[in-house]
Amino acid sequence: MRRITTIFSSAPFFTLLAALLCVAAPAHAAKATLEGGTVTLGEGESASFPISGGESGPADLSAQCEIGDVNGTASLTFDGEHYVPLSAPAVGDVLTLSGGETRNYDLVGVVDASDGGDAYIAFHFTGAPAPMCFPGMPCDGAEGKSGNVTVSCRNAGG
């Protein structure tokens, strides 16, 4: 028992252990870059933002997007290809905004385009959500649909 204790308490053992931990520790993941910009959408149009990085394996994406200039109600669907969100919104989420509202999203996720194809995120302006009206209920008080929406995206910290 004394021999085992001596091995574990020796300086060469801890040096070897530290070296093994350094080799086994994962390197920092590559960074993905969003090709940002500002797009004003009409109903049925999409704003697509290409992402570079992730062609050789997973890469981290950190971006910021703002949706605004809504003059009525608007619904947008969030989409992405080769993008796995780790924050809201998730791919397929429908984002509903009311007149004058602005929404900001910090997009954090992983991009992996190693199997080919282009990586991107996108917002599709699908129009206005249908008003909730029950039979016999007047719906003329519902807010009208927005004619356009502005989407701006950029890399975080830039």
1 versus 53: the higher-pLDDT residue is 53
Beta bridge partner(s), residue 65: 105, 153
Q: Is residue 35 over pLDDT 60? A: yes
pLDDT tops 70 at residue 9: no
Least confident residue range of 12-26, 30-44, 94-108:
12-26
* pLDDT tens profile 75-118: 999 999 999 999 999 999 999 998 889 999 999 999 999 999 99
Place of tokens 């605004």: 68
Query: What residue ranges do the domains of the chain occupy?
Result: 30-130+144-155
* The pLDDT of residue 71: 87
Residue scoring higher pLDDT (87 or 8)? 87
Please name the fold of domain 30-130+144-155: Jelly Rolls (2.60.120)
